[in-house]
């Protein structure tokens, strides 16, 4: 896949894509180019590295690693993203708290990865997230080339439900793609990586940051025009098209040509799809965001489209529908859907160490005030 976009500097808003987005993890966004990172009011940490056994590396990014970890007191497995503070400070990153804010809201939705704990040491930040080991949708799509409509419909419906929930919180996701869609052990969708989310966007409001992943950019983003939440429905259309056809709708190995295609080429849907699927793709991939499906009543328009008529949305939300594919994982320790390049790497001993508290006076630590979070009533944080 084409690496993420280089950020375009804007006075009020910056966006960035990590080249690698490990499974089950968010990616940080860049910051204003001045001053240290301040993550809000300081808090006493309610969790620490020594609470966990770090078992395997399951992903790597620009700022650190993602590890499979087991909580010592109750044996619960988590995906823990460990970020090096120095790396973040060096690259002037300060939107970690905004990302954490989005993650904290996700606990309430079945198809969004949830943040369980966050804490810090003088050198590192820790995101403790839901552990998801059914593999990226991208992985399964690469292996099978394309999905039949019932399977694609199931995934698209669960993703649409998650996007609709984010929109209800005035959050635009902005980076929907198969690499950010995970499957859990049963085969349900789990949307991850909230590094490009934009909070606080009311239904009629717009934002204008140039960000995303090239294959899935909406025309209005490419034109550097103000855009609204309909940008996410374009991305849903692109992902659905890719699930059904095996490639994104306007794909070209030549990025300039791909951008030209997105802006000007009419949508071409090869034969073999139902009338309902074609109509939905035409609606979601409408180049005029004002005419795009979802531009008026948001998720309700997608939900009511005839393509989704076989879906009982209440049953879908409560996971009463049987997924069309079972990842067939033996348990939490089954890592067959993770890249061996990661899982064969040795786990650094320093990741599980809790440094002396006196070291917390360092500049790197004070720059991340207010980062630590843990549920107050969690018995497993007994120490």
Cα(184)–Cα(177) distance, rounded to whole angstroms? 17
Cα(290)–Cα(375) distance, rounded to whole angstroms? 41
- Residue 233 CA to chain centroid, in angstroms? 15
Among the listed residues 130, 175, 232, 298, the single catalytic one is: 175
Q: Which residues contact 133 (CB under 8 A, 6 or more apart)?
A: 23, 184, 185, 327, 329, 332, 334, 335, 337, 338
| DSSP 3-state of 91 | coil
Cα(268)–Cα(247) distance, rounded to whole angstroms? 12
Across the strands, what pairs with 124?
84
The alpha helices in the chain, defined as continuous H runs, are 85-90, 96-105, 137-144, 149-168, 219-222, 230-245, 255-264, 275-284, 299-303, 313-317, 340-343, 363-366
User: Could you confirm whether 130 is annotated as catalytic?
Assistant: no
60 annotated binding-site participant: no
Active site residues: 175
Binding residues, as ranges, are 90
Residue numbers belonging to the annotated binding site for ATP: 90
């Amino acid at each position: 896949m084409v690496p993420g976009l280089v950020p375009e500097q804007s006075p009020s808003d910056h966006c960035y894509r990590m080249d690698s987005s490990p499974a089950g993890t968010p990616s940080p966004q860049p910051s204003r180019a001045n001053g240290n990172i301040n993550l809000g009011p300081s808090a006493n940490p309610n969790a620490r590295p020594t609470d966990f056994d770090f078992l395997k590396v399951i992903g790597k990014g620009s700022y650190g690693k993602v590890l499979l970890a087991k909580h010592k007191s109750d044996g619960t497995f988590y995906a823990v993203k460990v970020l090096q503070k120095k790396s973040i400070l060096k690259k002037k990153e300060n939107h970690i708290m905004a990302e954490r804010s989005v993650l904290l809201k996700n606990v309430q939705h079945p198809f969004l990865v949830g943040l369980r704990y966050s804490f810090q040491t003088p050198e590192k930040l820790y995101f403790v997230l839901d552990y998801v080991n059914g593999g990226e949708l991208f992985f399964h799509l690469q292996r099978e080339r394309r999905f039949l409509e019932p399977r694609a419909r199931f995934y698209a419906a669960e993703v649409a439900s998650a996007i609709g929930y984010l929109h209800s919180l005035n959050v635009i996701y902005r980076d929907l793609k198969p690499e950010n869609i995970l499957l859990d052990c049963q085969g349900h969708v789990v949307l991850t990586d909230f590094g490009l989310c934009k909070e606080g966007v009311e239904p009629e409001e717009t934002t204008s940051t140039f960000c995303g992943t090239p294959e899935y950019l909406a025309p209005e983003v490419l034109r550097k025009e103000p855009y609204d939440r309909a940008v996410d429905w374009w991305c849903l259309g692109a992902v659905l098209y890719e699930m059904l056809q095996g490639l994104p709708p306007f794909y070209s190995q030549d990025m300039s040509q791909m951008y030209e295609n997105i802006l000007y080429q009419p949508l071409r849907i090869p034969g073999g799809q139902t009338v309902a699927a074609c109509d939905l793709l035409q609606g979601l991939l409408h180049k005029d965001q004002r005419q795009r499906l979802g531009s008026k009543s948001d998720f309700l328009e997608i939900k009511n489209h005839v393509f989704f008529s076989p879906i009982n949305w209440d049953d879908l939300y409560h996971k009463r529908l049987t997924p069309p594919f079972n990842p067939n994982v033996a348990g939490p320790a089954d890592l067959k859907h993770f890249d061996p390049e990661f899982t064969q790497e040795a786990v650094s001993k320093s990741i599980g160490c809790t440094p002396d508290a006196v070291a917390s006076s360092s500049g790197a630590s004070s720059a991340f005030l207010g980062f630590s979070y843990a549920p107050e009533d969690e018995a497993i944080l007994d120490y």
